[in-house]
Structure 1
Amino acid sequence: MLGGLAMAARENKSGFDDRLVELFRNRAQLKKAHQALQQEFHSLEEKLKNAEASTRRAEERLEAIERLMAKPEAGYNGLVYFQLRSLWRACFDQLGVFAEELRKQQEDRERKKQLQNFNKDRAHRMDEINDLIRRVKDEADEIAGEIGGLESRESRLRGFWNYFRRREVAARLGERKSEHASARTRIEELFDRRIKIESEPRPEFPGLSVEGRRIVNIAVIAYAQHLYAYFSEGNIARLAREAVTRPIQDLKYGSEKDCTHLIDKIQQLTLGLKDSHLKAEGLKEMALEIRRHAEFRNGEDTVPAASSLDGMLTGSVLAGPRTNVLMDEYWDIYEVFLR
């Protein structure tokens, strides 16, 4: 009886220990979940603060614009300001379209090259397996010929006096039949391998290579530089950059006559933005010049270091006004690059 009570006590203690362990485990899980919720709360709180700050800035800009536009003499100044911002967005959009066209072209080239290499490698392996099949088949045919000769010889060895010769021929015949069976098995295996090679699916395209993305990005830089030179007439490119980096109340564009002249110039240049000759003229040479100067931070980086293009500004290839479009982040170029 005492033994039973002791056993029951041990079982109760074991059950209590299990419940205690489970309690501590649940407590640790609750603590971990609480910490995760706190982190999420702080993250959302930070996002809310940022959103509120952004809203306040937008409201302040709107109020400043309202106060400015309430003055009749400032109306033309505002028109120039927003025309310049619109031009900046148009250049950004144009860069994006250009980059997408180049991406598709480069992707097509790399995909074709990948398939060419795949087909070339498969054809090489098919040639190897076919050559091996021919050699093994020739060997099997040769063995089959020997088997036929041995069987014919064996059939002619009659009588007890040919017993030892017949046994020797039979042993040789057994060896050659075994070799022939092995050769046939080998041929079947080779045919299976050939079928497997023939049925290999085309490889999935892994995406543009680092070099492919660099090619596209360098062409985008060349086009951005071209746009800068194109819109430098009347200093429009610099004015557009100021319009997207500074508030409207900080900028003045002169008298009504000056503003009207600027608006006409902006519209005139914007109309020529999508002309095909603008893309083609000198871009290849410019891209080659950029590539000669471009330096990348590491083997995986696809955008040149902005400082590496400073030396290009004194080159002979770039005609017209020049600037380091990466350093000045013209046309929001970093948002266009392929990464």
Structure 2
Amino acid sequence: MSNLTAIFGSSAEKSQDSEKLMDLYWNRAELKKEFAGMRKEQFRLEDKIKRQEGATARLQQKLDYLEDLLIDPQQAHNVVVYFQFRGMAMQSERKLAKFAEQLKQQREQKEHDSFLGDWNDKLLEEASQVKLQILEKRDQVQQLEDQLQAERQRLTAMSAFVRFFRGRSLTKLLDDLATQIETAQQEEQTLKEDVKIIKNRQPPGSQGLDIATKRSINLMILAFAQHLYVHFANDDLVDLIKEAGEKSVGAIAYGSKYECEQLLTRMQKCNEKFEQNTDFADTLQKRALLLGERAKFHQNTDAVPDSESVRALFRIGDDGLIRESDVNMLGDNYWGISKVLSR
């Protein structure tokens, strides 16, 4: 038997060998799985590097192209004008975005203040109702105490003979009155705690703007976008500004050096006039009302009007005269308006 064990090994040794083989198998499987994950990550990073190299190459091409344009005396002035117009387009987008954000914050603050006012009024009303209950409870306690005092005096005034026959029932009445007083006092204390809880109650968070308010905000944003359009249109620059915001450098020719200098002068004066003109709040309100009369919405839950319904541009003169023209500010996404509307 010992010879057979020496040849074939014991069952315990075979079990240990099997466990080692299983461990090796699972370790190998885990290594293969980890290796596959690493290869996948490697391919992802290599693909990311290729995309970045492509983006860098395209950017370098743009820089080389821009350098060629600036070197060319015939093109250099056009490049300067292009970037000035592009800067005006970007500045207009920033102005519209700032106006929209400030308007939203004002409306949100106004709505929140109104909500808090109503909430505090309801809180005060609720506390007042509880305080009335406290007063009623105090009156009840006072009446019970007066009755208790009267019954005690009555018991004291009784003769021994009468007390012998009626004393037990009167004593029970006194105990009942004392119990009622204690219960009423406990209820009064509970009501006082309720008042404290009401006063310490925290208001809920912001409820957000409703659809009507969002629509009102969007009409004001659209009115301000039209204000920008009208200002630039008065100097015949609006189309040039929008074109520079949509096309690449070198794709637009503005003319000779003299013509480019004239455009730069007009741009400077236009910007100066815009900064000086700060009294246009009433005009915006009138324009927003006019737009509101035309605005249509696909659904009751939509805050943004259909672009075709508000494609009328309103010029409002100092004399109140209104002139209307066809410009789809929303559909053509002037000044990036689609990004700043409330939805």
TM class, shorter-chain normalised? 0.7 to 0.9
Deviation at 1:114, TM superposition (A): 2.5
CA distance in 2, matches of 1:52, 1:73: 33
Native 8 Å contact 2:226 2:314 kept in 1: no
Max radius of gyration: which structure?
Answer: 2
Whether contact under 8 Å (1:225, 1:322) holds in the other structure is: no
Distance of 1:65 and 1:42 partners within structure 2? 35
Gaps of 5+ in 2: 1-11, 316-321
Residue in structure 2 matching 1:323, options 294, 317, 327:
327
Q: What one-letter code is carried by the residue in structure 2 that aligns with 1:57?
A: R
Distance 1:233 1:55, change over 3 A: farther
One-letter code of the match for 2:308? D
Paired letter, 1:63: D
Give CA-to-partner distance per residue, 1:287-333, whole Å, 9 cap, x none: 2233441526673x65x15xx13123347677465522222221122
| Matched AA of 2:73 | P
Using the alignment, how far apart are the partners of 2:190 and 2:132 within structure 1?
Answer: 14
Q: 1:190 to 1:44 in 2, by over 3 A?
A: farther
Counterpart CA distance in 2 for 1:67 and 1:147 is 108
CA contact (8 A) 2:330 2:337 kept: yes
8 Å Cα contact 1:107/1:208 also seen in 2: yes
User: Which letter does structure 1 place at the counterpart of 2:71?
Assistant: A
TM-score by length of 2: 0.77
**Which range moved further: 81-90 or 194-203?**
194-203
Aligned length: 316
1:173 and 1:281, CA in 2 relative to 1: closer, same or farther beyond 3 A?
closer
Give, as a single letter, the amino acid of the residue that structure 2 aligns with 1:331.
W
How far residue 277 of structure 1 moved from its aligned partner, in angstroms, is 3.6
Task: Check whether the contact 2:314–2:325 (CA below 8 A) recurs between aligned residues.
Answer: no
> Given the superposition, is the C-alpha separation of residues 294 and 47 from structure 1 closer, same or farther in structure 2, using an over 3 Å criterion?
farther
How many Å apart are 1:67 and its aligned residue? 2.1
Instruction: Please state how far the C-alpha of 1:163 moved relative to its aligned partner.
Output: 2.8
Q: Deviations over 1:239-281 (max 9, x none)?
A: 2222122122221223333323322222221222223446425
Matched letter for residue 325 of structure 1:
M
Which residue is 2:6 aligned to?
A: none
Report the CA distance between 1:238 and its aligned residue. Answer: 1.7
Identity %: 24
Cα 1:202/1:244, change in 2 over 3 Å: same
Q: Which residue of 1 aligns with 2:227?
A: 226
1:121 matches 2:122: yes
Residue 193 of structure 1: aligned partner: 194
Letter in 2 for 1:81: Y
Partners of 2:114 and 2:300 in 1: how far apart?
Answer: 25
Question: 1:81 Cα deviation (Å)?
Answer: 0.8
